[in-house]
Amino acid sequence: MSTGHVLLGLLSRGQQHGYDLKRAHDDRFPAAKPMAYGQVYASLERLHRQGFVEPVAVQRVDGPDRTVYAITATGRAELTDWIETVETPFVHVANPLATKVTVALLVTDTAYATTCLERQRASHLDAMRRYTRAKTDPSLPIHEVLAADYAIAHLDADLQWMESALQRVAALGEAIAT
């Protein structure tokens, strides 16, 4: 349950109310979907029930009441557990690119599969160019640099796969021709 852990992470730096948490989240994870207020409050409720956070104050600043939450000792332990748990490698074995190439080979010929792969490559490279350009801005904050590195590494994995797929398709073409 990752939204809750992100909120716990943000609270580990000091108590905050939901509104500020939402803003801190959106600020720090610009590539993620902005958090809806409802989602923040529901998540805080759940964390409270689990004993990971507790309300410590209610702020009234010309508007609605705002409950300020703090992380508990159990919450900190839970946060540490989550951070230290190694993620299962997420492997896209059945990926849409490979499926498309296979179908292209079924429907037509190796030249067509090559065209599809090259066009996909151009599109991936466009995306990679955008992240690369963004990353070369020296004023880019660290969390955005890390996010760009991650995106580039994943695009690169796809691109490497496309290169080897192109070579396999070319070899198949030669085998059929002879």
99 binds another protein per the rule CB under 8 A: no
Least distance to another protein, CB of residue 72, Å: 38
Interface pick for another protein out of 85, 88, 136, 139 (rule CB under 8 A): 136
DSSP 96-117: HHHHHHHHHHHHS-HHHHHHHH
Interface pick for another protein out of 42, 97, 125, 172 (rule CB under 8 A): 125
Least distance to another protein, CB of residue 29, Å: 23
Q: Where do we find the tokens 């801005």?
A: 137
Interface pick for another protein out of 114, 144, 172, 173 (rule CB under 8 A): 114
115 binds another protein per the rule CB under 8 A: yes
Closest CB to another protein among residues 12, 115? 115
Least distance to another protein, CB of residue 126, Å: 9
Q: How far is CA 102 from the centre of its chain?
A: 28
Interface pick for another protein out of 122, 142, 175, 176 (rule CB under 8 A): 122
Name the residue among 16, 14, 38 with its Cα closest to residue 3: 38
**Beta partners for residue 65, in sequence order:** 60
Q: Where do we find the tokens 């429907």?
A: 107
Strand ranges for the chain from DSSP E? 16-17, 53-60, 65-71
Residues within window 148-177 making contact with another protein, judged by CB under 8 A:
152, 155-156, 159-160, 163, 166-167, 170
What is the identity of the amino acid at 33?
K
